[in-house]
Amino acid sequence: MNKRTKKLLLDAIQHWHENLDMLILNHLSGEKDLSTDIYMNSEACPLCVEYLRGTKETFCALCPIFAKTECLYCEDTPFDGAGVWMDETPSDYEVGYKVISAELEFLYSLLSTTHD
């Protein structure tokens, strides 16, 4: 993994920490929709902003998530569960915490397996 990609991965990890912080803040503030101000789309992901472009054949090709999963659009990652949580049960704090934490764990695992 090159230095630029590693920096983008660290930025993605930071973004998911911000999502977790917002979930906790929403929970403590009594929000009914705990997904308020939590961003889980390609515009919010530094890796997607960099690597989700070109043709369908080249989408995600240089992304470390794709390198691990060989799936486009972060399929077969904890991101899938996060999307389901936002769409179906955004008021369930425990599920939200679990899926966001799983995404963080997954991203950290990519960082720990990188070598220059």
Say what the pLDDT of residue 61 is. Answer: 87
Residues 42, 47: Cα–Cα separation, whole Å: 8
Sketch the domain layout of the chain as residue ranges: 3-110
Q: Tokens 């979930």 sit at which residue? A: 23
Tell me which of 25 and 56 has the higher pLDDT: 25
Residues 75, 16: Cα–Cα separation, whole Å: 17
Smallest CA-to-CA distance from 104 within 88, 81, 72, 86 is with 81
pLDDT tens by residue, 66-92: 999 998 889 999 998 998 999 999 999
Q: Tokens 């695992």 sit at which residue? A: 109
